[in-house]
Amino acid sequence: MPTVNLDDLEIVNNTEASRFQVQLPDGQLALIDYKLAGKNIIFTHTEVPVEYEGQGIASKMARHVLDYARDNSLKVQALCPYVHSYVTRHKEYQDITWGF
């Protein structure tokens, strides 16, 4: 199982693909898909390749996308089960979400 240093991961907003993504050392991607609807951002899917699971990549990405939403005055709808559970565990983001 390959390991990563979370501090070395750069999260990029790929606006053409409507996703935040991280290029992993072997060229694979971890990602969080989204849709923009006015001043709302809807997170629809989180994906981390199986061999990279359990290393905190999805958690780092969830924190990043929620901070992005806050910094850009966007309201969050977390349809993605991972982002939804992250917000449930991190109450500091519930002020920018709806449906909780």
pLDDT in tens, the chain (100 residues): 789 999 999 999 999 999 999 999 999 999 999 999 999 999 999 999 999 999 999 999 999 999 999 999 999 999 999 999 999 999 999 999 986 5
Q: E strand or H helix at 12, and its extent?
A: strand 11-14
**Does some domain include residue 1?**
no
Q: What is the pLDDT of residue 100?
A: 59
Answer whether residue 47 is part of any domain: yes
What is this structure's pTM? 0.94
Domain count, the chain: 1
Report the CATH number at residue 23: 3.40.630.30
Q: Is residue 36 part of a domain?
A: yes
60 inside domain: yes
In a domain, 67, yes or no: yes
* Domain around 58: 6-96
Burial 58-77 (b: 16+ CB within 10 A, else e): bbbbbebbbebbeeeebbbb
